[in-house]
């Protein structure tokens, strides 16, 4: 777990190459997911890392408006803040395990 002084207290907690982090903000613990993007073109192309909030399914929240009422908005099912760090850590463990299917 790493602590970083920027943007409040941030704890990076994940077994999969620091994919998730917990950010403490306004008395709550928010889970964020890493998004690797590339900005620029040809020789001035630079990779950047952005941290985005997640929805209740563990996917990055998005908002896309295609016009005429065609909107994709997952911010309305955004993961609520947790009251304790341990609650957020347990949720990250559940997200990393994912859905388990049993065949018989």
Give the count of domains, the chain: 1
Is residue 23 a part of any domain in this protein?
yes
Average pLDDT, the chain: 84
Edge to edge, what strands does the sheet with 28-39 contain?
A: 2-4, 10-12, 20-25, 28-39, 46-53
Question: 102 lies in a domain?
Answer: no
Domain that holds residue 71: 2-97
pLDDT tens string 17-61: 578 999 999 999 999 999 999 988 888 889 999 999 999 888 899
Considering the domain boundaries, does residue 26 fall inside one? Answer: yes
Rounded to whole angstroms, how far apart are CA atoms 104 and 102?
A: 7
Residues counted in the chain: 104
């Amino acid at each position: 777990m790493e602590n970083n002084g920027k943007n409040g207290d941030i704890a990076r907690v994940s077994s999969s190459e620091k994919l998730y982090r917990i950010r403490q903000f306004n008395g709550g613990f928010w889970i964020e997911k890493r998004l690797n993007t590339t900005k620029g073109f040809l020789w001035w192309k630079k990779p950047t890392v952005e941290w985005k909030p997640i929805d209740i399914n563990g996917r990055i929240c998005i908002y896309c408006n295609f016009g005429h009422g065609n909107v994709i908005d997952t911010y309305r099912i955004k993961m609520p803040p947790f009251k304790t760090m341990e609650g957020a850590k347990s949720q990250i463990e559940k997200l990393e395990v994912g859905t388990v299917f049993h065949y018989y």
